[in-house]
Structure 1
Amino acid sequence: MFDEMLHWPFFDERHRALRALGDWADSALDDLVAQEHAGGDVYALTPQFVARLGEAGWLRLAASLDGRLDARSICLARDMLARRSGLGEFAFAMQGLGSAAITLFGTPDQRERYLRGVMDGTRIAAFALSEEGAGSNPGEMEMAARRDGDAYVLNGEKTWISNADLAHQYVVFARTGEADGARGLSAFVVEADAPGLSVIERIPVIAPHPLGTLRFDECRVPASAMIGAPGDGFRIAMSVLDVFRSSVGASAVGLARRALDEALKRAAARRIGGRALADYQMTQDKIADMATAIEASALLVYRAAWVKDTTGARTSREAAMAKLFATEQAQGVIDRAVQLFGGLGVTVGMPVESLYREIRALRIYEGTTEVQKLIIASGLLAAASHGN
């Protein structure tokens, strides 16, 4: 199904050439994947995944010095990596999400200083937007940054931050007060060793990933650390999410592809009542639904990425549709795979059990399913009110 997809009109030859990433991952990451599945320490494994991806040149898809990102390439990479390793896909994705604001809006000096290490895998990046009371609505953000001469002083906390306690640099959003709500936010790049910045908590989750809470206590950064202009923070954050929300859908598609692979092997090998599980009509019903859900999800994901790449316009509605549909459908695909495995499906160490834990968070981060529905509906209602 994946190779057939590469011939869809959304892609050109440079995208089809990325098929090599999947082949590379099958051999170059196999030892790390084995450690991941054996319950290895994610704080030790994540930097190793980043280093491998960087050494092989794949992180050049996630960041660039020329200010451009190709959404289709990012989606293809996440799709292929998720099929093979949840943590490996996470490592790639966070290098992109954590540095996209610098790629898209940073100065040449900021890109040179922070992105070369991201691309070669020697610097780990992180994106610090969410707060305890401002996860779904950045306009309610409380973290503040006040101007003090040639610097800004940051105070507050960020939580649910991927790569907390691993990152060398954080893109941090804070209230600078140019206007009320979301219009009064700005973005900064803050180095992990900045005085006043500390990681106060590691957050364990059902699919182990490095996640934590940051505290900023009179954390002083130079004014040159601001990305874009004062008050640009919300626009920067939404532009980043326009690219990466679609790619969350691509990750979900990759997880669902692996679930279908496992289900097909199980259906062919497992015998019940003298017949292969695959011979039963109820099994075929599940497999047909799984394959159809994956194809439909991929169409929405790569349509959104294609629109972003070819128009350069905001694609909030398309990205929201892609993330909403692909993550919800992948949850169903993986659930069906677990069901086909029976008791083995909920046994720790089985691939479908790991997939079941991996998929759940994708329906929450970078905007919950419910938030995606609000984005879609509000866009449609606004267009209707203007007669579009």
Structure 2
Amino acid sequence: MDFELTPAQSDLRDAVAALGRRYGHEYFVAKAKAGEHTTELWAEAGKLGYLGVNVPEEYGGGGGGITELAIVCEELAAAGCPLLLLVVSPAIAGTVIAKHGTPAQRSSFLPGIADGTRKVAFAITEPEAGSNFHRLGTTARRDGDDWLLSGRKCFISGVDEASYVLVVARVAAGDKLQPALFLVPTDAAGLTASKLDMEILSPEDQWLLYLDDVRLPADALVGSVDAGLPALFSGLNPERITVAAMAAGTARYALARASTYTATRQVWGRPIGAHQGVAHPLAHAAIQVELARLMIAKAATLYDAGRDVEAGVAANMAKYAAADASALAVDTAIQVHGGNGMTTDYGVATLLGAVRAGRIAPVSREMILNYVSQHVLGQPRSY
């Protein structure tokens, strides 16, 4: 069992960390509060090749895997700049198109995803069905050679920044409906978006989407109708792994800020970190974060090795562990700062909404427990 990064992976980690530090959490917060996007950071990360580390080399990417992309997600978050669109565009859309797209789709989309000039959003969640693809209300039906999409989607990240959105719909296959994925231009006739007001400090907004007979050409379908379910799952495990990596990086950032503060803040003539009541909660959180990072590495390794069933279990566990560890780390960091923890200047309370949301999305901790109960422990299905 090898716990060492390859030289290339180690260099990638160091380089991305250096880029993140040049921007920092103050940049991230300023952009979010101004209602702006982290355009400069995204563009530089794309130019340096970090956004496309998992894209095949023939399409301008680095030829790596989700292991490398998880490194990018974690290190930017550890610098205080968690970029949600890394999960959405390179991890989900990039993986789905690379594995299941047609040759024309790969040639058209992957180079732009790799260099950051093309962002692709992802739309599965619906107001009534959540992310249960068995109950999705968005449907696609044939009209001659075209497709017509109708339905609603919610909590869709970054639609205003993306040129396309990868939409999960249900199509007729004999006497049943099965999922299929479509590449929909965000300026398509019949597609409208409404911004959701969120109590999360983030440069990336959340949107409601309405699809009213959106007409698409035949080549908007990713792969084929039969490829829908495998294509969907090929994107969901990378989503969980990279979300977990981003959570772990955020936790590292919060603990670093807290540790610096507690080691230097003097009360009664000694640093407050000398008190076990302060130091032990930080140490406990640090242990939980390191345990989560091990599971993230395992999940990414299994996924990159093509061991999909095992990767599915590990990806869910990694997401569960990292979300809980991140929420614990940020809460602990705020607590040890005292009143300073609730100020913007100390840079930890600004993370609170995002890490709390991480226990809900993209799959809730309760659904992960259902999955583990059923698929690992052999318990009867509970839902």
Q: State which drifts further: 105-114 or 94-103.
A: 94-103
Aligned partner of residue 145 in structure 1, secondary structure: strand
Name the residue aligned to 1:341.
337
Aligned length: 373
Are residues 263 and 100 of structure 1, via their aligned partners in 2, closer, same or farther at CA, if it must alter by over 3 Å?
Answer: same
Question: 239, 248, 251: which is aligned to 1:256?
Answer: 251
Stretch moving more, 372-381 or 158-167: 372-381
* Cα-Cα RMSD: 2.3
Shift of 1:40: 4.2
Q: Deviations over 1:144-180 (max 9, x none)?
A: 1001111100111111000122210111111102267
Question: 8 Å contact 1:65–1:108 — kept in the other structure?
Answer: no
Question: 1:1-388 alignment to 2 at 5 Å?
Answer: 9=3, 11-19=5-13, 20-27=15-22, 29-30=23-24, 33-38=25-30, 40=32, 44-64=36-56, 70-87=65-82, 89-96=83-90, 97-178=92-173, 184-208=178-202, 209-314=204-309, 315-382=311-378
1:233, distance to aligned residue in structure 2 (A): 2.4
1:15 to 1:338, Cα distance in 2 relative to 1, 3 A? same
Query: Relative to 1, partners in 2 of residues 1:346 and 1:215: Cα closer, same or farther, differing over 3 Å?
Result: same
CA distance in 2, matches of 1:42, 1:72: 33
Residue aligned with 2:224, SS = coil
Distance 1:222 1:324, change over 3 A: same
TM-score (norm 1): 0.89
CA apart distance, 1:44: 3.1
Deviations 1:97-142 (A, max 9, x none): 2333212211121011112222222222101111111214121100
For 1:189-230, what per-residue CA distance to the aligned partner results, in whole angstroms no more than 9, with x for missing partners?
111122211213344342232110111111111111111221
Distance 1:137 1:200 in 2: 22
Change (3 A) 1:137 1:277: same
Return the offset for 1:54: 1.1
The amino acid across from 2:303 in the alignment is: K
The 1:149–1:22 alpha-carbon spacing in structure 2 relative to 1, beyond 3 Å, is: same
| Aligned mates of 2:7, 2:30 — CA distance in 1 | 37
**Structure 2: how far apart are the matches of 1:361 and 1:66?**
36
**Gap change, CA 1:317 and 1:292, over 3 Å in 2:** same
Shift of residue 311, structure 1, vs aligned partner: 3.7
Secondary structure of the residue aligned to 1:60 is coil
| Matching residue's letter, 1:37 | V
1:248–1:323 contact (8 Å) kept in structure 2: yes
User: What TM-score results when the alignment is normalised by the length of structure 2?
Assistant: 0.90
The residue type paired with residue 261 of structure 2 is: R
Tell me how far apart the structure 2 counterparts of residues 173 and 380 of structure 1 sit (CA, whole Å).
Answer: 27
Q: Which amino acid is the alignment partner of residue 75 of structure 1?
A: A
Letter in 1 for 2:47: E
Identity within the alignment, %: 29
Write the deviation string for residues 307-336 of structure 1: whole angstroms up to 9, x where unpaired: 111244232111111100111122112111
CA deviations 1:339-370 (Å, max 9, x no partner) are 10001111234311112222111111121111
Supply the distance in 2 between the matched residues of 1:355 and 1:263 (Cα, whole angstroms): 13
Which amino acid counterpart does residue 362 of structure 2 have in structure 1?
Answer: E
Stretch deviating more after TM superposition (75-84 or 207-216):
207-216
Contact kept? 1:253, 1:297, Cα under 8 Å: yes
Pair 1:327–1:357, CA change in 2 (3 A): same
What is the Cα deviation at residue 8 of structure 1? 5.1
Relative to 1, partners in 2 of residues 1:278 and 1:34: Cα closer, same or farther, differing over 3 Å? Answer: closer
Q: Confirm or deny: 8 A CA contact 2:195 2:205 kept in the other structure.
A: no
Q: What amino acid does structure 1 have at the position aligned with 2:164?
A: Q
Q: Which runs of 5+ in 2 are unaligned?
A: none
CA distance in 2, matches of 1:50, 1:248: 17
Q: Distance in 1 between matches of 2:34 and 2:143?
A: 38
